[in-house]
Amino acid sequence: MKKNKIKILIAVIIMVGLSFVFQNQTYAKVNYRVTPKKVAKMAKKKHKSFNNKYTRHYLGLNDYLEKMGKKGGGTLTLNKGKYKISNAVCIPSNVTIVLKNGVVIEKINKTGIKKFKPSGSMWQLCPRNKFKKKNSIGKYNGSKNVKIIGEGNAVIDMKNVDGIGLVVAHCKNVEISGIIFKGMNGNHYIECNGSQNVEMHDNNFTKAKQSTLTKYYAKEAINIDLADKETHGLPLDWVKKDKTPCDNIHIYNNVFDGTTRGVGTHKYSQDSSGKPVYHKNILIENNTFKNIFDNGVFVLTWKDAVIKNNTFYNIGTGNKKSYSSGAHGISGGGIDGINITGNSFEKIKRNAIYFIQQQNVGAGSQYKKVNVNITKEQTEAMTDNSVKNCGNDANPNYAGYDVLYFRNNSTKSRENGVGIDLVTKNVYYGIPKNK
């Protein structure tokens, strides 16, 4: 009996030991430091038919990241040089990508292979083994604990290709910082879609082509969105269209200079009961929005967002579009509570802040219109913003207000109107006829 107990104890010890070894082998993180030549060498080693001067960096980077994903993550450091990306590079969980000073990640729109088309996006936060599987990732179950950090002068250049620089979808715990983004044309630098706990800070978003593609003119440098087949929200195979909203998004210390929009949402969704699906806990602070064609920030179905201590300068002055929500510092609708304080607005074509009932145009137009719900306390708090040389609503009946929004059913009327003069700090609930 005693011998049997000893045998069982030994067996348990061996099993525990093997389990420990297996876990360490499976999750032992690895680090790589690469150059463009080293990445190309990796592609040449592993790929024959698809490897050429257009695809080698896309292939090589994916090979490194796939190895890291299998090992549980690690750090991939890109040394100075130009990396040309034809197709999506997939980033798995627990990975930090460091772009050293002098790194340029450049989008190219060709592969050199007839049956293999280039992708619109450059980076997608998605494990490689799930990238081609339809609806493989939903909720916040995608790549987790990912950092993309630029050091010094690190650039992501879309080269005016209609596509997305970084797709952050169904992710959790993501940080993007220190990067210069340029060359946007008709899409987004960052698509933050159905993700939780995302920080985007100390980046520079610049040199977007202004309204090159007419149907895309109101596109955001950072898009806050969710995947919904009715709105055509993020039509990527692996992205489950489950209407997961963004939650806890922190955007701070960035510069938006020369983009169509800075931060915003351009389509909204509703659940099966017809209620809006709100993005929650969005904090936008200490950013600079300047030389923006449309709006600095466009709020759409955000709940209890905070926009504070930002600078808005020269917004909408080159915008000849006639729709009411354009050419403001902050605009939108579908709001359920918002705190806007400590911001400065200068040289804004129309009102510094403007909210009204919104309706999806085109895809998603079957959803009910969404209204504006702002408390009296939040309204009074908006007096803690400053203005200089800002314009008014296009309708002279509503002129004279730096802040203008429409409550109740949120349609445009004097009864629904709430106006604030940020110079005198006077607040008007209902727009007087003689103002």
Token pair 């729709």 in the structure block, residue: 323
Instruction: Please tell me the pTM assigned to this model.
Output: 0.92
E strands, 71-225, are 74-78, 81-85, 89-90, 95-99, 103-107, 123-124, 144-150, 155-157, 166-169, 172-177, 180-182, 190-193, 196-201, 204-206, 220-225
pLDDT at 141 over 70: yes
Q: What is the pLDDT of residue 184?
A: 93
The band of 49, judged by pLDDT with boundaries at 50, 70 and 90, is confident
Q: H/E element holding 45?
A: helix 36-46
Token pair 């879309």 in the structure block, residue: 158
Q: What is the pLDDT of residue 324?
A: 86
Q: For 20-29, 216-225, 424-433, which range has the lowest pLDDT when averaged over its residues?
A: 20-29
**What is the C-alpha radius of gyration for the chain, rounded to an integer number of angstroms?**
25
Phi, psi of 383 (to 5 degrees): -65, -15
pLDDT at 23 over 60: no
Question: What is the distance between the alpha carbons of residues 53 and 60, in angstroms, rounded to a whole number?
Answer: 12
In a domain, residue 38? The reply is yes
Token pair 């600078």 in the structure block, residue: 311
Q: H/E element holding 279?
A: strand 279-285
Helix 56-70 crosses helix 36-46 at what angle (to 10 degrees)?
80
Q: For residue 264, which of 254, 279, 277 has the smallest C-alpha distance?
A: 279
CATH number at residue 35: 2.160.20.10
Pairwise pLDDT comparison (24 vs 309), residue with the higher score: 309
The DSSP bridge pattern shows strands 166-169 and 190-193 to be: parallel
Q: What is the pLDDT of residue 10?
A: 45
The band of 299, judged by pLDDT with boundaries at 50, 70 and 90, is very high
Dig out the tokens for 164 from the structure.
């997305």
Q: What is the pLDDT of residue 82?
A: 98
Q: What is the pLDDT of residue 216?
A: 56
In a domain, residue 421? The reply is yes
Helix, strand or coil, per DSSP, at residue 57: helix
pLDDT at 21 over 70: no
Asked if 293 contacts 316 with a C-beta cutoff of 8 angstroms, the reply is yes
Mean pLDDT taken over the chain: 91
In a domain, residue 190? The reply is yes
The residue-averaged pLDDT of 239-266 equals: 97
CA diameter of the chain: 100
How many domains in the chain?
1
The DSSP bridge pattern shows strands 403-406 and 417-421 to be: antiparallel
Structural domain containing residue 116? 31-429
In a domain, residue 435? The reply is no
Token pair 């463009």 in the structure block, residue: 36
pLDDT at 189 over 80: yes
Dig out the tokens for 340 from the structure.
């806007």
pLDDT at 354 over 70: yes
Tens of pLDDT, residues 356-412:
999 999 999 999 999 999 999 999 999 999 999 999 998 999 999 999 999 999 999
Q: What is the pLDDT of residue 13?
A: 41
Q: What is the pLDDT of residue 53?
A: 94
Asked if 156 contacts 180 with a C-beta cutoff of 8 angstroms, the reply is yes
In a domain, residue 7? The reply is no
In a domain, residue 143? The reply is yes
Q: What is the pLDDT of residue 155?
A: 98
Question: What is the distance between the alpha carbons of residues 369 and 45, in angstroms, rounded to a whole number?
Answer: 55
Q: What is the pLDDT of residue 413?
A: 95
Pairwise pLDDT comparison (378 vs 216), residue with the higher score: 378
In a domain, residue 21? The reply is no
User: What Å distances lie between residue 197 and 91, 125, 171, 179, 282, CA to CA?
Assistant: 17, 14, 8, 19, 10
CA angle, residues 308, 309, 313, in degrees to nearest 5: 110
Q: What percent of the chain has pLDDT over 90?
A: 83
Q: H/E element holding 27?
A: helix 2-27
The band of 417, judged by pLDDT with boundaries at 50, 70 and 90, is very high
pLDDT at 1 over 90: no
Dig out the tokens for 293 from the structure.
């064609």
In a domain, residue 418? The reply is yes
